Amino acid sequence: MSQADLRLSKNERMNGQLRFSAEIDKMTSVYRRTMLVDGSRRENDAEHSWHIAVMALLFSEYAKEPADIGRVVKMCVVHDLVEIIAGDTFAYDSTANRDKAQREQKAADILFGMLPEDQGRALRALWEEFDAAETPDAKYAACMDRLQPFLHNTLTEGHTWKEGNTDRAAVEKRMAILKEWMPEVYGWMSENMDHAIEMGWLRP
């Protein structure tokens, strides 16, 4: 079944909220490149979004400026919603990243358009703030969005890096926001990159 089978209430506003709630369950079938820590399968967007939301409760002490963790956690849980329609764009795929912004804006029109206008606007604003990565909250959320798959890669013998024949420069570019915003965490990452190169998981 799908959200189309939803039995409606008399409240049109609530119907939009229920429809949207059913629709976003599709996040469980948007698969990412990253493997689960146990290596059993790829993770999906729902799992990834949850994981970075919990991590956001833990690492703020390393960020250059304080963040409002409640807002960051909200950002984390909505930051990939548009991928229900636009699909996941692999971070190291430069071709797909060219039209990513356009695809995602169109997806946002459809998806957030399912909600009562005020709520659609609020969720979209959170997602756009995340995507712009300019405010302290968004920068910190973006760091969690990079740190989590990095952690998974280190624990799955560089699965995604090997698969993409990735080199250190590409990972450094992707992780640049941590170098800027969370230098101590980046120090740990840099040592892991050295190790990954030694192990042949990452090209020098």
Q: Which residues bind its own copies (CB under 8 A)?
A: 1-3, 5-7, 9, 11, 14, 17-18, 20-22, 24-29, 36-40, 43-44, 46-47, 49-51, 53-55, 57-59, 62, 68-71, 73-74, 77-78, 81, 115, 119, 122-123, 148, 151-152, 154-157, 184-185, 187-188, 191-192, 195
Nearer of residues 68 and 172 to its own copies, judged by Cβ = 68
Nearer of residues 78 and 202 to its own copies, judged by Cβ = 78
Nearer of residues 72 and 86 to its own copies, judged by Cβ = 72
Is residue 68 within 8 Å of 137, Cβ to Cβ? Answer: yes
Closest to 174 in 3D by CA, of 163, 191, 184, 161: 161
Least distance to its own copies, CB of residue 99, Å:
26
Positive or negative CA dihedral for 66, 70, 73, 79? negative
Least distance to its own copies, CB of residue 169, Å:
21
162 exposure class (CB count in 10 Å sphere: 0-12, 13-18, 19+): middle
23 exposure class (CB count in 10 Å sphere: 0-12, 13-18, 19+): buried
CA angle 95, 177, 79 (to 5 degrees): 65
Nearer of residues 116 and 164 to its own copies, judged by Cβ = 116
Least distance to its own copies, CB of residue 23, Å:
8
Helix (H) or strand (E) holding 189: helix 183-198
Least distance to its own copies, CB of residue 132, Å:
20
Is residue 126 within 8 Å of 77, Cβ to Cβ? Answer: no
The neighbour count for residue 20, using CB atoms within 10 Å, is: 20
Nearer of residues 15 and 96 to its own copies, judged by Cβ = 15
Least distance to its own copies, CB of residue 112, Å:
12
Nearer of residues 55 and 96 to its own copies, judged by Cβ = 55
Least distance to its own copies, CB of residue 1, Å:
5
